Amino acid sequence: MTGDITNIDFVDAIVNSTNKTLLTGKGVAGKIQQVGGKGLRDACRALKGCQYGQAKVTAGFDLPCKYVIHTVAMVDAGCRETEEILKDCYTNSLRAAIDYNVRSIVFPSIGTGFNSYPADVAAKIAVRTVKDFVALNPKAFDKIIWTFVDEETKKAYDSVLDESVEGKVKKDVGEADFEIKRAKRIEFCRKYIPALQMIDGDPVLKEACHNYSDHATELAHNSLFVFIYDYFMMEAYYSDMIVYDYKELVESSIMRDYVGHPDDEALEVLTSEEIIGWITWHFRRDHFVNGLLAQSSVANGYMLRMMKAYMKKENAEWLPLLMQKR
């Protein structure tokens, strides 16, 4: 994809290709410092620099992402950009991401800006390094993507990504992959709709969800929130219930004003893919305001309603087969 990395709000972390001081930068690095604000600049200053190929992490501050992973591939006096440094930038950024429990990450084209490293060579190194890392850590990430400032760089990466048919580094989703996604989504809904319906029908559990706080040291019905956050939410990512273009799907839907409080009438006019976009919106909202998944989406029955609506659009039964026979 092409665009401004500082506007991306659907990943946990962005990668900043910067210089050894971490304090100044041109182009994309400068924009990240500018948008991140004083908090980001102070955090970078506290890190006291970073060596070539290494990676250090700060919060995102005024950026929409939770973290910024800073890595150094800049050419200073007396140091020439090398293939090994570029590999280290990607490898160490991914290692840092794992340390901070980052599940989704977006890279720029490291080294091809003011360093003038050839984009076609950088693309091969980048994709190969990330593929190798994912092969060794297959469950570490939900999504790894790149964003570019110009079409020429994007074309260089596209030519390499077109050749990649393994792991997370894949450019296009074909028809067969779409059917696999659909099957995973239906299986997810069948698994979790009965549990959400049980919560929706129990006033005590609904009240517990309404009163949930991620800051509480002791929670009544703690197992309920383990279910919501450690199972339901986490499995949603593995089951393709979370999509990157959810903002576009929400904005393009005719009933977009109802996304925060969906009712059956609004959901009826949506496509199945738009419903997935709305579901993603509810999951991602909790990323920015912790607790809203339980307090609002589950407690008010919104998630249950959306998942049932998705199954209806897909002409799929959500009841387990044993219950259907009755």
**Mean pLDDT within 114-135:** 84
SS3 89: helix
What's the pLDDT tens digit per position in 244-280?
A: 878 888 888 878 889 999 999 889 888 888 999 999 9
The structure tokens listed for 119 are: 């984009």
pLDDT at 187 > cutoff 70: yes
Q: Picking from 110-119, 259-268, 283-292, which range would have the lowest pLDDT averaged per residue? A: 110-119
DSSP sequence for 251-320: HHSTTGGGTTS--HHHHHTS-HHHHHHHHHHHHHHHHHSTTHIIIIIITTSHHHHHHHHHHHHTT---S-
Predicted pLDDT of residue 220: 64
Global pTM?
0.53
d(CA 315, CA 20): 56
Residue 67: predicted pLDDT: 96
Q: Over pLDDT 70: what percentage of the chain? A: 86
Q: How far apart are CA 98 and CA 3, in angstroms?
A: 25
| pLDDT band with cut points at 50, 70 and 90 for residue 239 | confident
Cα 86 to Cα 167: distance, rounded to the nearest angstrom? 21
- Torsion sign over Cα 151, 155, 156, 161: positive
Q: What is the pLDDT of residue 213?
A: 74
Phi and psi torsions of 280, nearest 5°: -60, -45
The CA distance from 26 to 240, in Å, is 36
Distance set, CA 287 to CA 87, 105, 135 (Å):
30, 14, 27
Strand, coil or helix: 248: helix
The band of 54, judged by pLDDT with boundaries at 50, 70 and 90, is very high
Extents of the domains making up the chain: 5-161, 175-325
Please state, in angstroms and as integers, the Cα–Cα distance from residue 178 to each residue in 77, 182, 183, 240, 267, following that order.
49, 6, 9, 10, 22
Write out pLDDT tens, residues 211-238: 887 655 455 678 888 889 889 998 998 8
- Dihedral angle, C-alpha 16, 17, 19, 23, nearest 10 °: -20
Taking alpha carbons only, the member of 271, 274, 277, 268 closest to residue 305 is 268
| Structure token pair of residue 305 | 């309603």
Q: Specify the CATH number for 5-161; select among 2.40.50.660, 3.40.220.10, 3.30.70.1400, 3.90.79.10.
A: 3.40.220.10
Q: Strand runs (DSSP E) across 108-260, as ranges?
A: 143-146
